[in-house]
Amino acid sequence: MGRAIDKAREVVRRVRGKNLGAWTKGYARWAVRSSLPRARAALQRGRLRHLLFAFCDHYEPLWRTADRDLGARRVQLWVDGYPALADRFRDADGRPPRHSFFFPGEEYAPGYLDGLARLAARGFGEVELHLHHDGDTAAGLRDKIGEYLRLYANHGHLSRDPAGRLRYAFIHGNWCLANARRDGRWCGVDEELPLLHDTGCYADFTFPAAPDESQPAIVNQIYWPEGDLRRRRAYEGGTPARVGDRRSDRLLMIEGPLAFALRPGRLAVRIENAGVTGADPATPARIRTWVRQGIGVAGRPDWVFVKVHTHGTQEAQSASLLGEGGAALHRELTGRYNDGRRWKLHYVTAREMYNIAIAAMEGHGGDPGAYRDHVLPPPPVAKS
């Protein structure tokens, strides 16, 4: 008993100081609320389920450098290496792995987006907006976004809605959506959520961010933010997405899996935040944890949404993701989650994941692969 108590104390010591805060309480509430639906899902495991898998990349060619040539080499590594990896795997729809390149507007260079356009044209992914900004104003942010969207569209990136308006998905740099940090760094704009929506953002893919302090108390959800959306950290309150409740007056929050998990082979707890790195690659155990969170649209439990993230231009990550780390991820996904009896796998971009979530909210069922382009078509450069 004494040894068990000592080990428990060690677990507590290891996670102490990790900005656990309100999100751990939110995680506990989510675990309690979701226990019955997950128990029901367990009883239905003989039925076919669909895994929607999106890989969202904070794609920063100028990470820790001002050397544009180094940035170009980092992009070229993906232009050459990603097709060689992805062509080895196919999902239930015959699609290869599809990467969502959240490109930082402040790092724009024509050659970078031209390189990513070559990947998009071959069906390997799409480009969305990533942005780092500090001490900003609403007017300044609006101008930046407008300029970046224009530049991206000039390269054939970004979807347009039926009215011809540019639409985009968003990941905030440094996780600091809606001026989230207590010290005021890395944003400055409390009213960021409605501003993003006004400029054409259809969904935010920033979270999870734990252990960063920006992490909301809402975990493992696709949800509509509620309340005063002009307030700081307006993403903290929200209504889970459900069948029959589609909105058009705000952006959708699409979170990736967040959980506590045991490290293999020892009594040690990790924060599983769906971040894939060279030092912490995807493993079968991690993938099982992602899937078990059961993220989706309430009323459509057979469509399971898994969004993971990385910083793919960093050398440690690119070596892993374009090499054995990436191959191991896709061997597990196509092997375990695409047998056609228990699971069908669908590789999706951020835009496609949003479209499929909207289709679920509108009451559509069956095979989600049919709804990849449900409300927002592919960007001009992309092969759907």
Residue 38 falls inside a structural domain: yes
pLDDT of residue 37: 57
From residue 99, alpha-carbon distances to 59, 82, 200, 281 in Å are: 10, 9, 21, 16
For residues 379 and 98, what is the distance between their CA atoms, to the nearest angstrom?
14
377 within a domain of the structure (yes/no): no
Query: Would you state the pLDDT for residue 1?
Result: 42
**Mean per-residue pLDDT, 123-137:** 98
Closest CA to 148 of 124, 173, 125: 173
Cα–Cα dist 192/25, whole Å = 25
> Token pair of 296, please?
């989706």
Task: Give CA–CA dist 305/311, Å, rounded.
Answer: 20
Instruction: Establish if 7 belongs to a structural domain.
Output: no
pLDDT category at 98 given cuts 50, 70, 90 is very high
The reply to whether 10 falls in a domain is no
Provide φ and ψ at 103, rounded to 5°: -90, 130
Q: Which residues span the domain enclosing 131?
A: 21-371
Distance of CA 367 to the CA centre of its chain: 21
Q: Is residue 186 a part of any domain in this protein? A: yes
Q: What is the CATH number of the domain that holds 344?
A: 3.20.20
What one-character-per-residue DSSP string does 239-264 give? EE-BTT---SSSPEEE----EEEEPT
Q: Is 117's pLDDT higher than 50? A: yes
Specify the pLDDT at position 2: 47
Q: Provide mean pLDDT across the span 25-33.
A: 82
pLDDT reading at 12 higher than 50: no
Work out how many domains the chain is built from and give that number: 1
pLDDT of residue 266: 63
Q: How far apart are CA 54 and CA 47, in angstroms?
A: 23
CA distance 179 to 186: 7
Is 379 a member of any domain? no
Taking the C-alpha atoms of residue 306 and residue 175, their distance in angstroms, rounded to an integer, is 19
Q: What is the pLDDT of residue 3?
A: 52
Give the helix ranges, DSSP H, for the chain: 2-15, 21-43, 68-86, 110-121, 138-154, 192-198, 284-292, 315-321, 324-336, 350-361
The answer to whether 318 and 74 are in contact (CB under 8 A) is: yes
Mean of all residue pLDDT scores within the chain: 92
- Alpha-carbon distance of 234 to 240, in angstroms, equals 15
Residues 99-113: tens digit of each pLDDT: 999 999 999 999 999
Q: Are 137 and 188 in contact (CB under 8 A)?
A: yes
Residue 352 maps to a domain: yes
The total of other beta-carbon atoms located within 10 Å of residue 244's CB is 10
> Which pLDDT does position 162 carry in this prediction?
94
